[in-house]
Amino acid sequence: MRFSNPLTRNPKWLRLDLALNILHGEERLSVVCAFRPVSRIPFRETFARPEMFWKQFRRRMDTEQPYCIVPGHFEEEVRRSLITFEELYRSQLLDLNLHRWTKSIFTWLTNPILDPDATGRVTMDHLTRLVTRSLRCAYEQGTTDVDAITLQAVAKEARARSK
């Protein structure tokens, strides 16, 4: 069995979800992303493409706030995200208990190298990379949970890459 990432969704599933939601009433979409610099909105060019698939998204975008930029996450939000990661990956790592490492993960990811503007926030990109790399390491080692040594090694690697 291979380690699989449930975060990479099939576009057909996304279309099906949208179709089902639209059938049950008027719904508007907003693109929510954590991104730096905040002045540039990702996916804007993608949604402007002329293909029918993207036109469907544009028509369903919220008229007042089609894009919502999240500058990062505070410690409590990181904890909730870690709990969600646990739920997503529990089938592959049965004893997964990531949220117990919230304080350490938050401290590592707000390091000046990864948070150069000293915002005191963790970007979802950094959090997702740290978690998925740590989970992959744990899976390859044959363990059912992630330990502090693995997390620390992956965080150190992330800081080294960002230099």
Task: Say yes or no: 58 and 105 in one domain.
Answer: no
pLDDT value at residue 160 = 86
Task: Say yes or no: 109 and 44 in one domain.
Answer: no
* Average pLDDT of the chain, as a whole number: 78
Task: Say yes or no: 86 and 157 in one domain.
Answer: yes
Domain final residue, candidates 23, 47, 69: 69
pLDDT value at residue 1 = 46
* Residues contacting residue 102 through CB under 8 Å, at least 6 positions apart: 75, 78, 79, 82
Residue 113 has pLDDT above 70, yes or no: yes
Contact indicator for 95, 86 with CB cutoff of 8 Å: no
Determine the length of the chain: 163
Residue pLDDT, tens place only, 116-152: 888 899 988 899 999 999 999 999 999 999 999 999 9
Question: What is the domain extent for residue 84?
Answer: 75-162
For residues 86-104, one letter each, b for 16 or more C-beta atoms within 10 angstroms of the residue's C-beta and e for the rest, the string is beebeebbeebebbebbee
Task: Say yes or no: 79 and 146 in one domain.
Answer: yes
pLDDT value at residue 56 = 77
Residue pLDDT, tens place only, 73-104: 899 999 999 999 999 999 999 999 999 999 99
Residue 136 parent element (H or E): helix 124-141
Residue 132 belongs to a domain: yes
